[in-house]
Amino acid sequence: MNKKTKIKYNQDRLYYIICYAVVAILTLIVLYPVVYIVSASFSNPDRTVQGDVWLWPVDINLDAYKMLFNYQKLWTGYGNTILYTVGGTIINLVVTLTCAYPMARKNLRGRSQIMFLFSFTMLFSGGMIPNYILVRELGIMNTRWALLLPGAMSVYNMIVCRTFIQTNIPDEMLEAAQIDGCNDLQFLFRMVLPLSKPIIAVLALWYGVSHWNAYFNAFLYLKDNDLYPLQIFLREILFASSQIGETEEMLAEEVTRSQYMYVAMQYCVIVVSTAPLMCIYPFVQKHFQKGVMVGSVKG
Amino acid sequence: MKKRKASAGGAIKKRDPRKDWQLYLLLLVPVIYIIIFKYIPMGGLVIAFKEYKVRKGIWGSDWVGFENFIEFFQSYQFWRVLKNTVILSVYTIIVSFPFPIIFALMINSVRNEKFKKVTQTIVNMPHFISTVVMVGIVFAVFNNRTGIYGNLVHAITGSWPQDLFASPSNFRHFYVWSAVWQNFGWDSIIYTAALSSVDPSYHEAAQIDGASRFKRVIHVDLPTILPTIITMLILRMGSVMTIGFEKVYLMQNSLNLSASEIISTYVYQVGLSAQGSGDFSYATAIGMFNNVIEFVLVVTVNKISKKVSETSLW
């Protein structure tokens, strides 16, 4: 080994060490708060607040969970969120696919004009107040439809789906099917949908997660406790101390018995609301990433 | 139902639209959806030029021209919310844009596949945490009495620290850095994907010429993903005026309002909140001001980029 390659080798080793170290440190920074919150939720509330929990649970204790599970609102919120997620995702998929399939046809007359109609909405929108007036005028204010209809399709997702169909279902296949007397709807159901399973999975995941996490529309359009999704309930619990004025009557009498308990319960509610997503995430992350890649291909 | 002609070839040629009636039928629902839920609200923007009264309806209300806009431009709130919006947004871009690129370049240099996979899974995870929970985590972790922060300072100095959330200047740091924490891993996916398309022969050639690994990152990896970087930068530059309402609203409190009142939260404050005046027209004008600038920015930035780098969004 001559001197020059030796220097290079050392330089490379230093570079690799830095890479591994930085990646490892960033990973730990991401991981630590998550582990801490899970540990804090399972620890004795007194010990948590006194600062005895640093990494692993201390003096394991499920009282805070028991207290949380006694809230009827948690279960109502959970039920509603599942309903909005399942119902909303089905609506999203139907609308997105019925839009993406025709838009994937290069020879459809008026295609570019219709495409403009859709993509323009990504650049400009009416905004909060006109949307609010619309929801009111449609008579769906304070109903479940207010969460299901306004976001029935994301134009971005539709374009991703269209690009997928264009690149994965060759024109020759359509021609062959047409020769055999297959019409457009038959082609959609017999060929396009079965061949688009990967992108349908990706879209279902994207839409599903966004419904699960959605807060804004419920916050604007719903007044009725029975309709609230989980995220609204979360806000009540998580921000009670900073916004006592709004939530005092609901929580005060139940909460005063233990301020510590309440802090512990905040950790629990974070875990309970986020656990379903985090549990399925490692298994489906491949699909999410695939979707990002499909989206980056311009059609 | 009409039977298709066997000679359906010549697919590139535009076909007789009557043959495609099924496709148009399918498009009906999405088009109706987009018109009702996207274009009607755009039409609803006319109330920015009116004095909207619920009784009179959108069309019956009186025209006032640009009065609402002028009122906003002259109000003391105008510069404050505009400044807060731009500062928060520029701060976000400056900090959160380079992180995923650097991370992608570094993790791309990691050769241990298992290490790569585990770290990627972990750093991508927070992307799926909801905004409400994300803000809840920030509040819990940095609580000056019960959180890690409070306990850590107490353990070291023996006294309890000040409430970090009471200070307006801290608001921006929390907003931006929690966003970095949540999204740098996820945002790096697009760059790692682009990096996987680097032609190995470039690396081999550079290696023969004696380039170190770091030099190859700068001269081989980085140029390969440059088009992706530029496209992403366009997207971000265009969205300078677009800051989600949710997170800022959730992080707002009466003490940090001087830094945390941005245009979208101010629209809500004026138009819909219980403390606001309920002036829909005025609130719409403020929102529209934001949307128009946003629109002009995206279009301009895209035009410039088309000229400079031949990369554009459309």
pLDDT tens digit string along B144-156?
878 888 888 888 8
- Chain A hits for B224, Cβ within 8 Å: none
Tell me whether residues A101 and B26 touch, CB distance under 8 A.
Answer: yes
Q: What is the pLDDT of residue A251?
A: 52
A114: closest CA of chain B, how far (Å): 8
Question: How confident is the prediction for chain A on average, in pLDDT?
Answer: 83
A109: closest CA of chain B, how far (Å): 6
Tell me whether residues B125 and A107 touch, CB distance under 8 A.
Answer: no
Least confident of A268-272, B81-85, B113-117, B233-237: B233-237
Give the mean model confidence (pLDDT) for residues A286-296. 69
Searching chain B, which residue's CA lies closest to the CA of residue A154? B34
Partner-chain residue, chosen from B11, B31, B193, that has the shortest CB–CB distance to A171? B11
How do residues A52-96 score in pLDDT, each as one tens digit?
778 788 877 887 788 888 888 889 999 999 999 999 999 999 999
Tell me whether residues B146 and A292 touch, CB distance under 8 A.
Answer: no
A108: closest CA of chain B, how far (Å): 6
Are both A196 and A231 inside the same structural domain? yes
Pick from B294, B285, B287, B212: nearest CA to B66: B285
Partner-chain residue, chosen from B12, B39, B214, that has the shortest CB–CB distance to A15? B214
Tell me whether residues B291 and A30 touch, CB distance under 8 A.
Answer: no
Contact between B252 and B260 under an 8 Å Cβ cutoff? The reply is: yes
Are both A137 and A20 inside the same structural domain? no
Are both A47 and A106 inside the same structural domain? no
Are both A238 and A103 inside the same structural domain? yes
Give the mean model confidence (pLDDT) for residues A291-296. 65
- Chain A hits for B165, Cβ within 8 Å: 242
Name the β-bridge partners of B63.
B50
Are both A41 and A83 inside the same structural domain? no
Tell me whether residues A130 and B45 touch, CB distance under 8 A.
Answer: yes
Domain count, chain A: 2
As a whole number of angstroms, the distance between CA B201 and CA A222 comes to 59
Torsion angle of C-alpha atoms A280, A283, A286, A287, degrees rounded to 10: -50
Are both A123 and A258 inside the same structural domain? yes
As a whole number of angstroms, the distance between CA B88 and CA B172 comes to 6
DSSP alpha helices (H): ranges in A128-258? Answer: 128-137, 145-148, 155-168, 171-179, 184-187, 193-195, 197-213, 216-221, 230-238, 244-255
Question: How confident is the prediction for chain B on average, in pLDDT?
Answer: 84
Pick from B68, B53, B48: nearest CA to B284: B48
Are both A50 and A169 inside the same structural domain? no
> For residue B51, what is the DSSP state?
E
Are both A50 and A97 inside the same structural domain? no
CATH of domain B67-309: 1.10.3720.10
SS3 B131: helix
B169: its two tokens: 């200047």
Q: Which CATH number do you get for residue A162?
A: 1.10.3720.10
| Statement: residue B184 has pLDDT above 80 | yes
Are both A7 and A114 inside the same structural domain? no
Are both A26 and A149 inside the same structural domain? no
As a whole number of angstroms, the distance between CA B190 and CA B212 comes to 25
Query: How are the residues of chain A apportioned to helix, strand and coil, as percentages rounded to the nearest 5?
Result: 75, 0, 25
Partner-chain residue, chosen from A51, A127, A285, that has the shortest CB–CB distance to B291? A127
| Statement: residue A148 has pLDDT above 60 | yes
Tell me whether residues B44 and A149 touch, CB distance under 8 A.
Answer: no
Q: A-B interface: how many C-beta pairs under 8 angstroms?
A: 291
Are both A49 and A76 inside the same structural domain? no
Domain borders along chain B are 17-63, 67-309
> Domain residues for A81?
66-296
Tell me whether residues B22 and A37 touch, CB distance under 8 A.
Answer: no
Searching chain A, which residue's CA lies closest to the CA of residue B229? A296
A121: closest CA of chain B, how far (Å): 7
Partner-chain residue, chosen from B44, B124, B154, that has the shortest CB–CB distance to A51? B154
How do residues A222-262 score in pLDDT, each as one tens digit?
988 899 999 998 888 888 654 343 444 545 544 444 677 77
A67: closest CA of chain B, how far (Å): 19
Pick from B166, B168, B175: nearest CA to B244: B175
How sure is the predictor about B172, in pLDDT bands with cuts at 50, 70 and 90?
Answer: very high
Tell me whether residues A181 and B154 touch, CB distance under 8 A.
Answer: no
Are both A242 and A257 inside the same structural domain? yes
Residue B182 corresponds to which amino acid? Q
Higher pLDDT, B83 or B145: B83
Pick from A130, A147, A284: nearest CA to A205: A284
How sure is the predictor about B73, in pLDDT bands with cuts at 50, 70 and 90?
Answer: very high
